[in-house]
Every structure is written in structure tokens, then in C-alpha cells.
Amino acid sequence: MKRERVLIIGGSGGMGLATAKVLIKNDYEIIVSGRTEAKLIDISNQLGPNSSYVVMDASNTVELRNKLTELPKIDHMVVAVSVRANASDIKTTSEENAKQAFQRFWISYNVLHFASQVLNRNGSVTLISGSSGKTPLKGYGVWGTLHGSLNTLVKQASIDIAPFRVNAVSPGGIGINTDRQLTEHRGNVEDIANMIFAIISNPAVTSTVIDVDGGERMGTWNG
């Protein structure tokens, strides 16, 4: 049977690479993408013959469109990029810094915008949002709004680009103490990767945002 091909944008980072490893083990063909070629070469060597890489800055819309449309047809795309920004609450974060944080929204938006030119008919796009989108909390104004926007983008795009499937995994507390959470399990990138695999491999799953956060921001936790 032909392997399904998955492009992971941000495939050289923590969650993206963990996803690549889980998918390779499950017989997918992987294309990892990021801005730093040296990291991608190393990762592609680690992943073996069913992997390749593409260097791109996904925040450059023209570059993103050109690279996506030059690739052979893809079955699934995962957006796992991170964007560093000096952002916290709305009172103190400047427009410039908030816009920097929202680069992640626009990368996700553009991947969805171009998806129908890139994906095979069974295709899907999986985004990463974040647990701060769940409950408004002091100090998280920008990130909470970003993650809430990504969650709404999933719902709307799943209608607008159907039959392509659109979902998100919403992580929380990855690699940090469990005192913020309901579970005793310390979250790790494999938790996210396994959920992305579950979403990609299940043709009935679309328009969902799945929390993988140990119940962070539930109950009495106040940040």
C-alpha cells in the first residue's frame, strides 16, 4: 500500500519532531520543514529513507505558497511552528509584539488558504493551539486570544475547505510541573505526537480541538 505523505511545518522542533518519529514508525512518508537547513538534514538522516525536508520561512506568504505548490501532492499537513514574542497581557503588550505572536495565526491561516492546491482528496490539516485559549486568565491576554482564534479558525476552515479535514491539538503544561493540572502525568511532546497521529489516521475526525493538557486550567488552578 502507498504510504501517505505528511508535511510537518516546524518539523525540527519538539512537538513537530516527536510527531515525525511517531508517523515514521506508523509507515507514513514525512517531509520536515523549518528555516534551518542544518537541523533538517540531521533530522532527515535520523528519520531514514521515508523522509525528506524542505527549507522555508512559513511566515513569508510568497515563499510558503511557492514551496507548498512545488511539492508533490501531500496527504496531511501539520503546523507545529513556534513564534517567540514578548507578549503577555493586553494592557502591557504593544501592538507590534502582539502582531509578532499572531504570526502563528497567519502561518496557520495561509496553510489552510493554500491547502486545497496542495492536498490529496483524503487530506487533512492539523494545527497546534494552546490551553490558554480555554479560560481567560490574567497575564495571558495575547496568547489566550491567539489560541482562541486558532480554535475558531479550525471550526470555520473545516467548513470552508471541506472535504479536507481540519483539527487542532491544544497542548498545555508540556515539560512543566503537574501542579497546574488534574493528572499526575508530566506532559511531554510524545503526548502531542500521539494525538496528532490519532487525528491524522482517523478519517471521521474533523472540526475538533482536542485538549492534551492534563486538565490544565480546570478546577481551582489560577495560574
Ligand X SMILES: NC(=O)c1ccc[n+]([C@@H]2O[C@H](COP(=O)([O-])OP(=O)(O)OC[C@H]3O[C@@H](n4cnc5c(N)ncnc54)[C@H](OP(=O)(O)O)[C@@H]3O)[C@@H](O)[C@H]2O)c1
The distance of closest approach from Cβ of residue 12 to ligand X in the complex, given in angstroms and rounded to an integer, is: 4
The distance of closest approach from Cβ of residue 162 to ligand X in the complex, given in angstroms and rounded to an integer, is: 25
The distance of closest approach from Cβ of residue 49 to ligand X in the complex, given in angstroms and rounded to an integer, is: 21
The distance of closest approach from Cβ of residue 116 to ligand X in the complex, given in angstroms and rounded to an integer, is: 21
Q: Do 125 and 112 form a contact (C-beta atoms < 8 A)?
A: yes
Nearer to ligand X by Cβ, of 131 and 206: the residue is 131
In sequence order, the β-bridge partners of residue 76 are: 6, 124
Range 115-120, long-range pairs (CB < 8 A, 24+ positions): 115/77, 115/161, 115/164, 116/161, 116/164, 117/68, 117/69, 118/68, 118/69, 118/71, 118/73, 118/74, 118/77, 119/73, 119/74, 119/75, 119/76, 119/77, 119/164, 120/73, 120/74, 120/75
Binding footprint of ligand X on the chain (CB under 6 A): 9-16, 34-36, 39, 57-59, 80-83, 104, 128, 130-131, 171-174
The distance of closest approach from Cβ of residue 1 to ligand X in the complex, given in angstroms and rounded to an integer, is: 29
Nearer to ligand X by Cβ, of 14 and 141: the residue is 14
Nearer to ligand X by Cβ, of 16 and 148: the residue is 16
The distance of closest approach from Cβ of residue 33 to ligand X in the complex, given in angstroms and rounded to an integer, is: 6
- For residue 194 the three cell numbers come to 500521539
Phi, psi of 192 (to 5 degrees): -70, -45
Nearer to ligand X by Cβ, of 13 and 141: the residue is 13
Nearer to ligand X by Cβ, of 148 and 172: the residue is 172
Q: Which residue is nearest to ligand X (CB)?
A: 13
Residue 177, burial from CB neighbour count under 10 angstroms (0-12, 13-18, 19+) = exposed
Nearer to ligand X by Cβ, of 2 and 20: the residue is 20
